[in-house]
């Protein structure tokens, strides 16, 4: 029954949102909002049927594919040459603000939920650490806003999921081994996963780019497959790494990074896929989120959960960002703008699914996962509704021509 509802819901929402997407955009209604709402409407909350488990095989397969595509596409979109020229601001967000955010969020979670294990408090902080520029898409595409600001937000959201993920894997391994020491061998295991994954992914990305460019130059490849082939390489990199004992997700990220920086042409093809077919996977993940996680976590959404979620989206994110630009000539309004536009979206959703799969469920720690889900729900709507008004307001005092 639910399988048919899923496909029916996907078909209806894609058709409906596609037909009226421009009209809805005028009212600041985004795709993630619509897909999440439809997910809730076809969930057991509405039909009173048995709950769908987050570690169900179909849900995990979708999450796995989507995370591979997201990591690969984000990495491929990163132009290292441009990053060298404009590295200071993104570096501050990634290597100063991000660690501070994780530490503050962990301490706050420990204070809010003293009965939870410290590692679970850290897990919550890591799940909510990566940002999703897609939830504020209007901001990063509005040419009235200085390109430096837009590029910084884009680079941060493109890189922070790849930076956080190895740490997330480490914490999950520690939880699974019931150890905070190296006795159980988790440290060696994680080091092997990251090292082999990075090397395998880098090799596959570089080799794949060389082969594909040769095929394109000699006219061997039909145009329609120029978008699909790089994505197939992402999946191949995943399994190649897993076969040799590495982490497939790390491999997907490094594969995209090397492919995108070996060939600008292939980078454009990956971006083209991400904007169309890749968008479908992401939107379906929001639907699954609304259908699976909202009903499961709803009973645990109390005042304490709302308080933590709001802190996560405001103080715990904005304060580290403001502090990270301490000695830079970045005005306070711009610091707040960077701070607010750190939405929690697809990466957090996929991290939740990865954590549930790795740990075999959420039993005994439902509150932690419920708080993470609530934070994502609030971000979807708060950042979605505020993106256009705040972008217009910011552009009035910081027009693009002053910084271009």
Mean pLDDT of 216-232: 80
Residues 353, 331: Cα–Cα separation, whole Å: 38
Phi, psi of 123 (to 5 degrees): -60, -45
* pLDDT tier for residue 46 given thresholds of 50, 70 and 90: low
Residue-number span of the structural domain to which 129 is assigned: 2-402
Check residue 51 and report its DSSP letter: P
When pLDDT is averaged across residues 258-275 and rounded to a whole number, the result is 82
Burial of 252 (0-12, 13-18, 19+ CB in 10 A): buried
Given a cut of 60, whether residue 167 has pLDDT beyond it is: yes
pLDDT for the residue 157: 83
CATH of the domain at 188: 1.20.1530.20
Chain centroid offset of residue 396 CA: 30
Q: DSSP labels for 98-114?
A: HHHHHHHHHHHHHHH-T
* For helices 225-243 and 186-217, angle between their N-to-C axes, nearest 10 degrees: 150
- Identify the residue with better confidence: 137 or 241: 241
Give the tokens for residue 323.
């502090």
- Residue range 173-186, pLDDT digits in tens: 888 877 554 445 66
CB 347 within 8 A of CB 286: no
The pLDDT value recorded for residue 182 is 46
pLDDT for 97: 94
pLDDT at residue 404 greater than cutoff 60: no
Least confident of 18-22, 89-93, 317-321, 343-347: 18-22
Average pLDDT over residues 218-239: 83
Query: How wide is the angle at C-alpha 31 spanned by C-alphas 392 and 48, nearest 5°?
Result: 135
Per the structure block, which two tokens stand in for 210?
A: 């060389």
Mean pLDDT of 388-398: 88
Backbone angles phi, psi at 99, to 5 degrees: -60, -40
Which phi-psi region, left, alpha or beta, contains residue 48 (left: φ > 0; alpha: ψ -120 to 50)?
left
d(Cα 210, Cα 193) in Å, to the nearest integer?
Answer: 26
Cα 328 to Cα 105, 205, 335, distances in angstroms:
25, 36, 10
Residue 224: partners with Cβ closer than 8 Å, 6 or more residues away: none
Each residue's pLDDT tens digit, 275-331: 777 777 888 888 888 888 888 899 999 999 999 999 999 999 999 999 998 877 788
The percentage of residues in the chain with a pLDDT greater than 70, rounded to a whole number, is 90
Q: How many distinct structural domains can be found in the chain?
A: 1
Q: 295 with 51: CB under 8 angstroms?
A: yes
Question: Residue 83 burial by CB count (10 A; 0-12/13-18/19+): exposed, middle or buried?
Answer: middle
pLDDT of residue 247: 86
| Listed range (6-20, 41-55, 363-377) with the worst mean pLDDT | 41-55
Counting every residue written for the chain, the total comes to: 404
In this prediction, residues 31-48 reach a mean pLDDT of 81
Q: Determine the Cα angle at 64 with ends 63 and 65, to 5°.
A: 95
pLDDT of residue 114: 93
Return the minimum-mean-pLDDT range out of 41-50, 274-283, 358-367: 41-50
Residue closest to 234 by CA, chosen among 57, 350, 71, 61: 71
Within 244-314, residue ranges assigned H as helices are: 248-262, 264-275, 277-288, 294-297, 303-313
Mean pLDDT to the nearest integer, 190-201: 86
- Give CA separation, 64 vs 60, 94, 166, 340, 355, in Å: 6, 25, 16, 29, 12
pTM, entire model: 0.86
């020491």: which residue's tokens?
181
- pLDDT on residue 47: 64
Confidence of residue 403 (pLDDT cuts 50, 70, 90): very low
Q: What secondary structure does DSSP assign to 276-288, as a single string? A: THHHHHHHHHHHH
Encode pLDDT of 62-111 as tens digits: 778 888 888 888 888 777 776 776 778 888 898 999 999 999 999 999 99
Q: How confident is the model at residue 354 (pLDDT cuts 50, 70, 90)?
A: confident
Has residue 50 got a pLDDT over 90? no
């Amino acid at each position: 029954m639910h399988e048919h509802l899923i496909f029916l819901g996907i078909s209806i929402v894609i058709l409906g949102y596609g037909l009226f997407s421009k009209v809805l955009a005028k009212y600041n209604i985004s795709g993630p909002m619509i897909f999440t709402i439809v997910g809730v409407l076809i969930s057991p909350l509405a039909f009173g049927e048995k709950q769908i488990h987050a570690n169900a095989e179909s849900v995990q397969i979708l999450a796995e594919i989507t995370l591979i595509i997201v990591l690969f596409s984000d990495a491929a979109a990163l132009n290292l040459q441009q990053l060298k020229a404009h590295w200071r601001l993104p570096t501050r967000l990634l290597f100063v603000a991000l660690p501070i955010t994780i530490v503050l969020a962990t301490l706050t979670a420990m204070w809010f939920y003293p009965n939870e294990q410290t590692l679970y408090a850290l897990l919550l902080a890591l799940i909510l650490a990566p940002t999703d520029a897609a939830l504020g898409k209007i901001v990063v595409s509005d040419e009235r806003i200085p390109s430096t600001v837009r590029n910084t937000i884009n680079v941060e959201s493109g890189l922070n999921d790849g930076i956080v993920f190895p740490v997330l894997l480490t914490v999950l391994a520690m939880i699974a081994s019931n150890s905070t020491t190296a006795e159980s061998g988790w440290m060696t295991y994680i080091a092997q996963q990251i090292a082999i994954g990075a090397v395998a992914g880098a090799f596959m990305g570089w080799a794949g780019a060389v082969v594909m460019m040769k095929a394109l130059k000699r006219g061997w490849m039909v145009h329609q497959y120029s978008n699909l082939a790089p994505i197939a390489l992402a999946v191949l990199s995943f399994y190649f790494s897993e076969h040799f004992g590495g982490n497939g997700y790390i491999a997907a990220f490094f594969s995209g990074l090397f492919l995108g920086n070996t060939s600008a042409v292939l980078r454009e093809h990956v971006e083209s896929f991400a904007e169309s077919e890749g968008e479908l996977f992401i939107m379906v993940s929001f639907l699954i989120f609304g259908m699976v996680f909202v009903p499961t976590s709803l009973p645990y959404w109390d005042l304490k959960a709302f308080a933590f979620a709001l802190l996560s989206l405001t103080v715990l994110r904005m304060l580290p960002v403001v502090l990270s630009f301490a000695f830079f000539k970045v005005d306070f309004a711009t610091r707040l703008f960077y701070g607010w536009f750190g939405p929690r979206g697809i990466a957090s959703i996929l991290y939740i699914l990865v954590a549930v799969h790795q740990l075999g469920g959420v039993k005994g720690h439902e509150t932690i996962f419920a708080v993470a889900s609530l934070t994502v729900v609030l971000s979807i709507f708060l950042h979605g509704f505020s993106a256009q008004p705040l972008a217009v307001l910011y552009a009035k005092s910081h027009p693009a021509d002053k910084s271009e």
